Amino acid sequence: MQAIVPVLYQPAISDNRAMAEIGTCELRLARRGDAALLARMSRDYIEQGLSWRWQASALKEKISAAESVVLVADLELASMRFVGGFAVMDFPCDKAQLNLLAVHPNLRRHGIGNKLMRWLHKSARIAAVEHIELQVRADNLQARRFYHQLGYQEETLLPNYYDGKLAAYQMKLRLHND
Ligand SMILES: CC(C)(COP(=O)(O)OP(=O)(O)OC[C@H]1O[C@@H](n2cnc3c(N)ncnc32)[C@H](O)[C@@H]1OP(=O)(O)O)[C@@H](O)C(=O)NCCC(=O)NCCS
């Protein structure tokens, strides 16, 4: 693994950089107090160029909902803990829907996205979910590659899916619950 330059996700101190390796990365369920931070991460890393749908109120609803999981990757660097990534998945019945997934730009390609997704896949198997669906911007080649390596397949192109102007691919992972 190469050295990274993490930036704490707080705009007011965004120049406060530290050079270090990731100390630990632990997953935990989000708390309502995380909602504002996760909403900003969604706006800046996922919803760029679109209207901001996933605001703090929407994240709070997901954090409280019985059929949703909001998972946070807590990182420790130089004795400081901060949120390096997160994911939101719904488990409505025999299928699951990934709504949001993001990792801080300076922390990508260190396995955090995979760690979040593998935890969710394991939970989906325990819940006897048959398949997981997600929608990804058609122009987001990096995320599409990421999902491919996890076994997701592109099923349908959805023109004008985001804000009536951007295309998405519907991707699906079939889980084997045997
Ligand atoms: C997609 C995203 C969550 C991946 O998180 P990550 O922590 O960087 O992913 P990982 O380090 O676990 O990557 C696992 C593998 O996925 C593939 N992958 C990940 N990012 C990739 C990229 N930019 N280009 C090509 N392959 C990539 C690689 O096979 C990688 O393994 P490797 O690093 O050993 O080659 C992250 O890039 C991100 O937050 N992007 C912006 C938000 C976004 O697009 N979210 C998805 C919305 S649907």
Q: Does the pLDDT value for residue 12 go beyond 70?
A: no
Q: Does the pLDDT value for residue 7 go beyond 80?
A: no
List, for residues 76-102, the tens digit of each pLDDT value. Answer: 877 888 999 999 999 998 899 999 999
Question: For residues 88 and 102, what is the distance between their CA atoms, to the nearest angstrom?
Answer: 10
> Distance from the CA of 115 to the center of ligand 1, in angstroms?
11
Q: Does the pLDDT value for residue 13 go beyond 60?
A: no
pLDDT mean across residues, the chain = 88
Closest CA to 52 of 64, 63, 60, 41: 41
Q: Does the pLDDT value for residue 34 go beyond 90?
A: yes
Question: For residues 21 and 138, what is the distance between their CA atoms, to the nearest angstrom?
Answer: 32
Q: What is the pLDDT of residue 18?
A: 34
Q: Does the pLDDT value for residue 14 go beyond 90?
A: no
Q: Which residues pair with 154 in a beta bridge?
A: 171
DSSP classification of residue 146 = H
> Distance from the CA of 14 to the center of ligand 1, in angstroms?
23
List, for residues 108-148, the tens digit of each pLDDT value. Answer: 999 999 999 999 999 999 999 999 999 999 999 999 999 99
The CB of 103 under 6 Å from ligand 1? The reply is: yes
Q: Which residues pair with 85 in a beta bridge?
A: 73, 103
> Distance from the CA of 114 to the center of ligand 1, in angstroms?
8
Question: For residues 113 and 73, what is the distance between their CA atoms, to the nearest angstrom?
Answer: 9
Over residues 152-161, mean pLDDT: 97
Q: Which residues pair with 24 in a beta bridge?
A: 76
Domains (range + CATH), the chain: 19-174 (3.40.630.30)
Three-state SS for 86? strand
List, for residues 63-78, the tens digit of each pLDDT value. Answer: 999 999 999 999 987 7
